[in-house]
Chain A
Amino acid sequence: MNAPAKLAAPIGILAELTHRCPLGCPYCSNPLALDPRVEELDAETWKRVFSEAAAAGVLHAHLSGGEPASRRDLVEIVAHCAKVGLYTNLITSGIGITPAVMARLSEAGLDHVQLSIQDADPVSADKIAGYAGGFARKREVAGLVTGAGLPLTVNAVIHRANVARAGAMVELAIALGARRVEVAHTQYYGWAMVNRAALLPSRAEAQAAIEEVERLRKLHEGRIVIDHVIPDYHARYPKACMGGWARRTLNVTPTGRVLPCHAAETIPGLEFWNVKEHSLAEIWASSPAFNAFRGTEWMREPCRSCPRKEIDFGGCRCQAMAMTGDPRQADPVCHLSPHHSAIEAALGNPASAGEVEYQYRRMVRVPAAAE
């Protein structure tokens, strides 16, 4: 399709309200250079952004971070999202959600809570998060969510330290009262790329986890919905990252930069616009970063003539950048990519368990391992 189609409206907005977080998960999707508190957008600006999002056609607002409960004005922001009709989802570690905060969030019109867990084993969970007592706190918070009558999703990121317990994490989600669980194998960007040697499971471990989760999906149908993000390193074709660049959703960073995805800033030379200078509708339609890889015109071979180009959109631009140095290349996950051997090389070198220490996510400008 070469005729310029009318630009479809965005469906979702992921708002990183803050990069502050008490946890230090080594696979965090935040950038390595975290935004400091003093530069965060204030509540009034966030409210304007959510009004603009609703007017532009956004249906889902995902309030994320960092830990969104680190902001004292979270309830005020949630109330505003509800007022402008957005389906409001809180993506939280649970830390900082007290009974009083939960009650106020529920009253403010929050629609849904997504709570992360790091493992089904408490000791391992706290080690992964770099936060003692986190596992126990999360159990309490799950009870607060369901006690408030709010639907709960549990999010579990899978990597070497917990891959043997992927099924146990699904069972834990059910025990916690979740109606839905996301089991997501780690995607290697940002902090996860820094920690890849410590996180990447073997192909056999990943495969066993996938089979176990699929077995549980059938067993628990109607009881819990399982959304399963399988590891793209083991796939034949790449994922349709974000449903295609700038096709469905936008991300807003704590300081107001608007990105097509959370890792987009790893691509050099892209110009990101900020909500302080532009409306969200203007950014969606005209921001150079959003238009850089929209559609299929930017593609090279093997994508350009590929019958799947409108299915997976060439995969992930950030992964192409990270592993080939060129964001216009096919995602190297694709077996047709001339750089596919880079994926094979990463998979062929799994360090043995426990051998590699995590570099925990924390507020420093540039961690040494990223150099």
Chain B
Amino acid sequence: MSAETIAIAEEVRPRLPRGVRLRHDETRREWTLLAPERVLKADRIAVEILKRCTGEKTLREIVDELTAAYGADRARVDTDVRALLAQLVAKRMVDL
């Protein structure tokens, strides 16, 4: 997948475009990312990333925040965030 290899700059400010919504589904007790004809389950890590994709924070800031919040290895967080964003950019569910 070319999506995996999209180079994403540190300074981009990822955001969910209009028509893509992160929503808690009360019926199924899970978080979902809703888009045209798409329902993606969002796990705990994805939710934490996507909540920060407001178009205000840069990729660097998002990774810094998550690293601090979870006391995790920064390189690992960086890889996870980029992988998720690359996937969703290819699906046009995140804009950079």
Residues of A within 8 A of B (CB): 9, 11, 56-57, 59-60, 85, 87, 89, 111-112, 114, 149-151, 153, 179-180, 182, 221-222, 224-225, 227
Residues in A with CB closer than 8 Å to B19 are 111-112, 150-151, 179
CA distance A269 to B19 in the complex (A): 40
Q: Is the CB of B37 within 8 A of A60?
A: yes
CA distance A112 to B2 in the complex (A): 27
**Closest chain B CB from A255 CB (angstroms):** 26
B90 at the A/B interface (Cβ < 8 Å)? yes
Residues in B with CB closer than 8 Å to A57 are 25, 27-28
Q: Is the CB of A9 within 8 A of B92?
A: no
Q: Is the CB of A87 within 8 A of B21?
A: yes
**Closest chain A CB from B54 CB (angstroms):** 16
10 A-B contacts (beta carbon < 8 Å):
A9-B27, A59-B23, A59-B25, A59-B34, A60-B37, A111-B34, A150-B19, A151-B19, A153-B36, A153-B37
**Closest chain B CB from A225 CB (angstroms):** 5
**Closest chain A CB from B3 CB (angstroms):** 7
Asked if A222 meets B21 with Cβ closer than 8 Å, knowing A9-B27, A11-B39, A59-B39, the reply is no
CB-CB contacts of B1-44 with A at 8 A, as 1s and 0s? 01100100000000001111101010110001010110100000
Q: How many chain B residues have a CB neighbour from A under 8 Å?
A: 21
Which residue of the partner chain B has the closest CB to A179? B92
Q: Is the CB of B36 within 8 A of A151?
A: yes
Residues of B within 8 A of A (CB): 2-3, 6, 17-21, 23, 25, 27-28, 32, 34, 36-37, 39, 89-92
**Closest chain B CB from A178 CB (angstroms):** 10
CA distance A9 to B19 in the complex (A): 23
Which residue of the partner chain A has the closest CB to B23? A85
**Closest chain B CB from A261 CB (angstroms):** 16
Q: Is the CB of B34 within 8 A of A60?
A: yes
Residues in B with CB closer than 8 Å to A87 are 21, 23, 34
Which residue of the partner chain A has the closest CB to B18? A149
Residues in A with CB closer than 8 Å to B17 are 151, 179
Which residue of the partner chain A has the closest CB to B6? A222
**Closest chain B CB from A204 CB (angstroms):** 30
Q: Is the CB of A151 within 8 A of B18?
A: yes
Which residue of the partner chain B has the closest CB to A248? B39
- What 3 A-B pairs have minimum CB-CB distances, sorted nearest first? A57-B27, A151-B19, A87-B34
CA distance A182 to B23 in the complex (A): 25
Residues in B with CB closer than 8 Å to A224 are 92
**Closest chain B CB from A149 CB (angstroms):** 5
Q: Which of A11, A56, A59, A114 contacts B36 (CB 8 A)?
A: A114
CA distance A111 to B93 in the complex (A): 13
CA distance A57 to B26 in the complex (A): 8
CA distance A221 to B32 in the complex (A): 23
CA distance A149 to B23 in the complex (A): 20
Q: Which of A57, A60, A87, A221 is most buried by chain B, counting CB atoms within 10 A of its CB?
A: A87
CA distance A153 to B36 in the complex (A): 8
CA distance A179 to B23 in the complex (A): 21
Q: Is the CB of A222 within 8 A of B92?
A: yes
Q: Is the CB of B3 within 8 A of A222?
A: yes
Q: Is the CB of B28 within 8 A of A221?
A: no
Residues in B with CB closer than 8 Å to A56 are 27
Q: Is the CB of B36 within 8 A of A221?
A: no
Residues in A with CB closer than 8 Å to B6 are 222
CA distance A151 to B91 in the complex (A): 13
Residues in B with CB closer than 8 Å to A112 are 19, 36
Residues in A with CB closer than 8 Å to B23 are 59, 85, 87
CA distance A227 to B91 in the complex (A): 11
Q: Is the CB of A222 within 8 A of B37?
A: no
Residues in A with CB closer than 8 Å to B89 are 222
**Closest chain B CB from A183 CB (angstroms):** 13
Residues in A with CB closer than 8 Å to B34 are 59-60, 87, 111
CA distance A57 to B25 in the complex (A): 8
**Closest chain A CB from B24 CB (angstroms):** 10
